[in-house]
Amino acid sequence: MQALFDLAHHSHGQPVPLHVIAERQKLSLPFLEQIFNKLKKAGVVASVRGPKGGYILTRPCNQVSVGEVLRLTDSGFYAAAKEDPRSANQALLADERMSSLLWNRLNDHISAFMEKVTFADLCSETASNSCPDCTCPEYVKDVQGQIVRGERRACGVM
């Protein structure tokens, strides 16, 4: 998530080398290579070869959700949310079953929320967002306007 946010927030429409993202985010380059290969196979990012090469998003950042990236890179996150409560809970006592059902519903809400949040939302809510070549400028402008008008809370505001 950190690496894709970095790409969305700092690319300014240009390819970003993975080693630059790895340095900025203090992440392992081999780990990022594995993740970005998955994202490339799924069509979320594309690689650009050459001295000014790197990775770019294949779609505007308001069309790439956090949930999509989680599904592609962390299948365990969604596997827990999609577990069938009937088969998983048959041996549990009634109160344990109720608790398990509650957690499954919470997982469903978390999954739905993650599907709605896009990288444009995250970039828009970052005070330092000043990308002149944003891939979705009208969307970012609208989100920032909602924050200023108090219709939406920025992600860093509790």
Give mean pLDDT in consecutive 10-residue pieces for the chain, a chain of 158 residues.
86 87 94 94 93 89 87 72 51 59 81 82 61 63 75 54
Does pTM surpass 0.75?
A: no
| Residue 72 burial by Cβ neighbours in a 10 Å radius (0-12, 13-18, 19+) | middle
The three-state DSSP-derived secondary structure of the chain is: CHHHHHHHHHCCCCCECHHHHHHHHCCCHHHHHHHHHHHHHCCCEEEECCCCCEEEECCCHHHCEHHHHHHHHCHHHHHHHCCCHHHHHCCCCHHHHHHHHHHHHHHHHHHHHHHHCEHHHHHHCCCCCCCCCCCCHHHHHHHHHHHHCCCCCCCCCC
Chain segment 103-112, per-residue pLDDT in tens: 788 888 888 8
